Homo-oligomer: A and B are copies of this chain.
Amino acid sequence: MKFGTRIKELRTQKGLTLDQLAQETGSAKSYIWELENKNPPRPSAEKLAAIASALGVTVDYLIGSDEQTLEKAEDTAFYREYSSLPEDTRRQIREMAKILGTKKPK
């Protein structure tokens, strides 16, 4: 699967417009469109990193060099972001997770 398709799927799935995603990633919306629709694009790692971050996945997942499922990629990206947060915020999240986790334990 081409990563252009992947980007488009993730973007629409999150209800984002080209413009919004472009804003968040510091790109031109025209360029995002070209990535999604034109072949074959060869974007810089910088751009891809910004896009991956905005979409909440890893670069490796986006370009398909990773056999990870989307679910796993999202979890990995989440953990990375979580790790960069200040301790008190992390603690809030952990506590909340604990509550959610025991509410309906499977």
- In whole angstroms, how far apart are the Cα atoms of A96 and B90 in the complex? 11
User: Which of A44, A60, A78 has most chain B Cβ within 10 Å?
Assistant: A60
Chain A interfacial residues counted at CB < 8 A: 46
A27 within 8 A of B: no
- In whole angstroms, how far apart are the Cα atoms of A100 and B56 in the complex? 15
With A49-B60, A56-B98, A66-B80 already in contact, 7 other A-B pairs whose C-beta atoms are closer than 8 Å: A45-B45, A53-B65, A78-B90, A84-B101, A84-B106, A89-B101, A89-B104
Chain A residues proximal to chain B, CB less than 8 Å: 42-49, 52-53, 56, 58-60, 62-63, 65-66, 68, 70-71, 74-75, 78-87, 89-90, 92-94, 96-98, 100-101, 103-104, 106
